[in-house]
Amino acid sequence: MLDHDKAQEMLAMMARSGWRITDQRRMLAQIFASTDSYLSPKDVYDQLTVKHPSVSFDTVYRNLRMLSEMGVLEQFYFMEGGLKFKASCLDHHHHHLICMNCEKTLTFDFCPMKETLELPGNYKIMNHRFEIYGICEECQKEAAEPAGV
């Protein structure tokens, strides 16, 4: 189901970054505002080409990367599934626990960056992400159950 507020917020961020709001970019916002799932560039391309058959995969990929850089999308790298994107949660700062099996994500508010870090070279941190990859409780239970039960 389309979250109109999320789509409008994404479009507003694009406009603030100087992007022209085209029909294709409006549809990109709608695609991500309609799901809580992770989408691969191919998933997005397949959905976008339904209404915009002339759009190239390179254009879709470039837009996804730029939307990620401006904070509209979060990008995650899955060992098996490669690079995937999801709409950013813009309400508050948080981090993620991500199941490598079913890709379910849990957020947590503890930020390890609040701890004192001794970084080399007087490094100034501008932004950060912290993800923990593992196997969720449900997938662990399924793996432990005997086959055919």
Binding residues: 93, 99, 102, 128, 136, 139
CA geometry: angle 137, 114, 6, nearest 5 deg: 65
SS3 (DSSP) at 123:
coil
Specify the long-range contacts of residues 105-108, CB closer than 8 Å, at least 24 apart: 105/38, 106/136
> Are 94 and 86 within 8 A, CB to CB?
no
E strand segments, 55-135: 73-78, 82-87, 95-99, 105-108, 131-134
List beta partners, residue 106: 97
Binding site for Fe cation, by residue number, is: 93, 128
Binding site for Zn(2+), by residue number, is: 99, 102, 136, 139
